Amino acid sequence: MSLIFPAIGVFTLGALLYFGERTGAARPKWILKPLTSALFLLTALAGGPDGTYDWVLFAGLVLCFFGDVFLIAPEPRWFLAGLVTFLLGHVAYIVAFNGLVLVTTLNVVVIALIVLVSVGLFLYFRPHLGTMLAPVVAYIVVITIMLLSAWAVFFGGAEAGLPDTFRYLVAFGATAFYLSDITVARDRFMPDVGFLNRAIGLPLYYVGQFLLALSVGIN
């Protein structure tokens, strides 16, 4: 049952990319983006949430749903609202992941690699941030911890008795989400990147969210 909603999501995402992002029309975005985002909420509910991980992760998905809606509007204040809402969503994911496997158990080499990537991204965006420097720094810190926590689940989950499918869903879902955030930042702070950036970023984002939603009910 839970696979029906990602399947529908493929079609709504395709429509969003073509009618909303490619043409730049506002109305399709206001219709199709909340609809596509609602489908990952339905996917999680169809998984039968039961227990702390499931409900905390679902709370994160709800926050991301509202973040999606806020980011539709072009005004800077709504971008900031979306940034804060997504940050809180990532915090919920951090809490959910660390409730299963602590991030401190992650191998120091993996930690160093992920942190170096995030530092590199900050240096890449730094000249373009202006007054958004502090919020973006806070966001980068939080999404880095989120990604570290997800990979802690992947590497330490087997010993904790977590199913392999669950560990892959968490790790790859979080990674896709992290990568999609890079395209959002490029779109906002480097507006000349064009449609290709969104054509890569939106599928990454929704793949990430649907993978995380599919992890509900199987741990």
What is the residue extent of each domain of the chain? 4-214
Residue 63, classed as helix, strand or coil, is helix
The one-character DSSP state at 19 is: I
Cα–Cα–Cα angle for 102, 109, 117, rounded to 5 degrees: 95
pLDDT at 72: 84
Residues 8 and 39 sit within 8 Å (Cβ to Cβ)? yes
pLDDT at 32: 86
pLDDT at 95: 98
pLDDT at 109: 96
pLDDT at 3: 81
pLDDT at 1: 58
Q: Residues in the chain with pLDDT < 70?
A: 1-2
**What does pTM read for this prediction?**
0.92
pLDDT at 138: 93
CA quadruple 163, 169, 174, 175: dihedral sign: positive
Residue 218: is it exposed, middle or buried by C-beta count within 10 angstroms (0-12/13-18/19+)?
middle
pLDDT at 2: 66
